[in-house]
Structure 1
Amino acid sequence: MTTLLSAVPSSALRVTGADRLDFVQGQMTNDLRSCPTPGHVAACFLNVRGQIEQFARIYRRTDDIYLHLDAGQAPALAERLRRYVIFDQVEIQDLSEELRTVHLWGGWPVLAAEGWPQEPGQVGAAWTATLGGAAVLLGAVDRSGQLGLDLHYLAAQEAAVMDVLHAQLSVTERSWAELQTARVAAGLPEPVLDGFLGHLPQEVGLDIGGPLPAISYRKGCYVGQEIMARLEARGKARYGLSRLQVPAGTPVGSEVHSAGKAVGHTGLEAGGLALCRLRLDLPADTALEVAGQPASIAPLSHAL
């Protein structure tokens, strides 16, 4: 088995303090309380209309909460969280410059190191390991259609971590673009990369049963929770996640048209495919266009 390694452009926040769990729990769409320690969940931060403002993978650890975000996203989320600090005993730190993240994929990597998981577990599992004297936070994440590992570590210790990975796993490096091609082919959304911010989670594959579940309908209140409850009661949003064959180079956010009307928009194009937020009431034989070129639906394997 060849282990593939891709650097993950990232930003990060760390929340500490006695009230950290209650505070973060009250801001996010998913249920961090039900998460084991250590463990992680995918979650959104919504506006009052229920639309996604930020997305993060949120790790619950013994002494802190670690929020892993896409590159450049930490300042906006930190500003949002600080607006809601009133009497809460919490501290919010932006660690984006201090941390690095890589993803191991192409098969579960088995490595002889303290704390390294020998079995995959499932999405949401997390561990702490020691590589070359460096402390590493591991998270089971599907970024390619096959369960892999996100590795988070201090930038100052990157050389030690890479030495162990290359020596024991003989990793083959793959670009971020290659990992995105695998992700889109597998039908896995990433809200920031796909330009899905500003839309309802249920419209872009983040609902329960979707490829990237990021909602709990049983947790306490948060901004946008009333809209989520209404959608649960109604049973279905007007849009859903689809995947299209599109022309190479199609920009993120390109409108999808049918009979001259906009019926959706595309996410990131990779390998001639793009995930798409698309109306659910379109007939199966509807002719679609993107940028004046024909586009066709490539069915998703996930239950949406």
Structure 2
Amino acid sequence: MWTRLPSSALRLTGADRVDFVQGQMTNDLRGAPTPGVVACCFLNVRGQIEFFARAYKREDDVYLHLDAGQAEALAARLRRYIIFDQVDVQDVTGELRTVHVWGGQPVPGWNESGGDAQSFELGGGTVLAGRVNRTGTPGLDLHYLARQEAEVLAALGGEETPLNVLDGARVQAGLPDVTRDGFVGTLPQEVGLDVGGPLPAISYRKGCYVGQEIMARLEARGNAHYHLARLSGEGLPDRAEVTRGGKVVGQAGLHAGGLSLARLRKELAPGEQVEVGGVPATVQPLTPAPADA
């Protein structure tokens, strides 16, 4: 089973590439192995998410894998911060494609006992693979050249599974997707991206970055008023306001498989009734999923 992922991508090269992106992102790329992969956010000065990415640290570059339509804006942001840094930012979206291979599916060339990021030959070309949890069971994101897609998919074998099925599995597993769920503009702690959350994307020990002061304050005080929750209901609208008694108490993400993930006020307990865009829904406990790579 594999699923095509709507994606965009940046490639950073130059002697200062790791230190430069380290100073922009929430997680610790410098401390990752080479090769390695970490989930991360790029925040604004208020600590709110502007972009979510998975950053691959390699010998010659840093590869940032993003959701579709994100690379151009992130590239523009990064370039604004380049002053004396020896770093080049390239948008390689048009050259690459990505699929997620569901957990438990063998992939020729992948070393199960190896690191979380590996490169190997598949279908006559080199693919970059990262161990990523998108369904509740860690699988692989495979990144490859667009011109080699037919050969890569033929060598991979198996059946293509639609994106909406993957969305249903990840929502059931309690795994947010910042872009698809519409959680851009929220604090990472509010949508499951904190240390110990289902998709940890923060290091509180890595040093300064844009928005870091807000993250340090939240770590010290622990006073985020929202957290990631799950809602059940029929026909819930996507990315709609959550209300209770006419008061806005949260924001729902993508509806899939009869469930939605939501940024929800912490005082709402499982079993309480709310409305998503006027449609009745029930607050459900969020089953912890294995941590993402």
Same fold (TM over 0.5): yes
C-alpha separation between the residues in 2 aligned to 1:234 and 1:287?
A: 29
Q: Identify the residue that residue 206 of structure 2 maps to in structure 1.
A: 219
Give the alignment of 1:252-267 within 5 angstroms.
Answer: 252=239, 254-267=240-253
Which residue of structure 1 aligns with residue 169 of structure 2?
182
Match of 1:76 among 65, 73, 76: 73
Does 2:230 align with 1:276?
A: no
Whether the 8 Å contact between 2:268 and 2:283 is mirrored in structure 1 is no
Taking structure 2 as the reference length, the TM-score comes to 0.95
Q: CA deviation at 1:78?
A: 0.1
Distance in 2 separating the partners of 1:134 and 1:22:
30
SS state at 1:173 partner: coil
Deviation at 1:300, TM superposition (A): 1.3
CA distance in 2, matches of 1:139, 1:40: 7
2:23 is equivalent to residue 26 of structure 1: yes
One-letter code aligned to 2:111: P
For residues 86-117 of structure 1, the C-alpha deviation after alignment (integer angstroms, 9 at most, x for no partner) is 00000000000000000100414253x3xx21
- Asked whether the equivalents of residues 272 and 282 of structure 2 are also in contact (C-alpha less than 8 Å), the reply is no
Over 3 Å counting, the alpha-carbon distance change for 1:129 and 1:174 in structure 2 is: same
- Match of residue 104, structure 1, among 90, 101, 106: 101
Q: Does residue 50 of structure 2 align to residue 64 of structure 1?
A: no
Give the Cα–Cα distance (whole angstroms) in 1 for the partners of residues 231 and 244 of structure 2.
13
Pairs within 5 Å for 1:19-168: 19-111=16-108, 113=109, 116-119=110-113, 125-166=116-157
Report the 3-state secondary structure (helix = DSSP H, G, I; strand = E; otherwise coil) of the residue aligned with 1:97. Answer: helix
Answer whether contact 1:248 1:270 (CA < 8 A) is retained. Answer: no
Q: 2 CA distance for matches of 1:249 and 1:301?
A: 20
Shift, 1:246, TM fit: 2.8
Distance 1:32 1:176 in 2: 29
Structure-1-length-normalised TM-score: 0.92
Identity of paired residues, percent?
A: 63
8 Å CA contact 1:100–1:155 kept in 2: the answer is: yes
Q: CA RMSD in A?
A: 1.6
- The runs of 5 or more residues in structure 2 that have no matched partner are none
How many equivalent residue pairs?
A: 290
Partner of 2:160: 173
1:172 Cα deviation from its structure 2 partner: 1.4
- CA separation in 1, counterparts of 2:9 and 2:47? 23
Superposed CA offset, 1:59-105 (max 9, x none): 00000000000000000100000000000000000000000000100
Q: 1:236 offset after TM fit, Å?
A: 3.7
Partner of residue 197 from structure 1, selected from 173, 184, 201: 184
Equivalent-residue separation in structure 1 for 2:80 and 2:233 (angstroms)? 41
**Between 264-273 and 284-293, the greater mean CA deviation after superposition:** 284-293
- State the partner residue of 1:246: 233
CA contact (8 A) 1:110 1:118 kept: no
Aligned residue for 1:172, secondary structure, equals: coil
SS for the counterpart of 2:149 is helix
Runs of 4+ in 1 over 4 A off after TM superposition: none
Q: CA offsets per residue over residues 125-164 of structure 1, 9 Å max, x none?
A: 1101101320000000000111100000000111221121
Matches of 1:61 and 1:301 in 2, distance apart?
A: 34
Measured in 2, the distance between the counterparts of 1:16 and 1:31 equals 18
5+ unaligned residues in a row in structure 1: which ranges? Answer: none
Letter in 1 for 2:85: D
How far 1:281 moved relative to its partner?
Answer: 2.0
